Structure 1
Amino acid sequence: MNEQDLLEARYKRYHGETIDVFFHKDLCEHAAKCVGTAPEVFDTKKRPWIEPDKADAEKVEATVKLCPSGALKYQYK
């Protein structure tokens, strides 16, 4: 899906310098793969709770790919 498709599908975008992360709260199964793998990026106690620039883009990509529900997506800039 491209950025516009994700936004139209009600994903929220979290901006990073080299990678953006998209999240759809209604799809999330709370498996916690994201917070367990990259807690510096995915921190539910903070707002915004996703900060893509807190780790290198490759780690963000790998973490998003672990999401079993598809609630997380990414796009490189």
Structure 2
Amino acid sequence: MNPDNLTKEYTNGEVTIVWQSGKCIHAAQCVKNNPDVFHPKEKPWIQAGNSTTDKIIETIHKCPSGALTYYMNKN
């Protein structure tokens, strides 16, 4: 596994956040727009349960690198 090109998933039950480390440019828009979820100094650094699905999706759309994507979970 290449640590420079990881893909990790985090979910709040409704939405799953997909983070691709190889695309991340560390612009910190995720942290600035949703600090309840994105904690770069913690593990796991994404805590999807700390925000609403709508706010998470809004934050992901502001990611300039495309390192953050999402998919909706099936019920």
Query: What's the TM-score once normalised by structure 2's chain length?
Result: 0.85
Q: Show structure 1 runs of 5+ residues with no match.
A: 1-8
Q: Secondary structure at the residue paired with 2:59?
A: helix
Q: Distance in 2 between matches of 1:60 and 1:75?
A: 11
1:54 aligns with 2:50: yes
Q: Would you say the 8 A contact 2:6–2:22 is kept in 1? A: no
Q: Show structure 2 runs of 5+ residues with no match.
A: none
Query: What's the TM-score once normalised by structure 1's chain length?
Result: 0.83
Q: After TM superposition, what 4+ stretches of structure 1 lie above 2 angstroms from structure 2?
A: none
Following superposition, the deviation at residue 62 of structure 1 comes to 0.3
Between structures 1 and 2, the one with greater helix share: 1
Q: Secondary structure at the residue paired with 2:70?
A: strand
Q: Distance in 1 between matches of 2:70 and 2:42?
A: 20
Following superposition, the deviation at residue 15 of structure 1 comes to 2.1
Q: Secondary structure at the residue paired with 2:18?
A: strand
Q: Which residue of 1 aligns with 2:72?
A: 76
Q: Percent identity?
A: 35
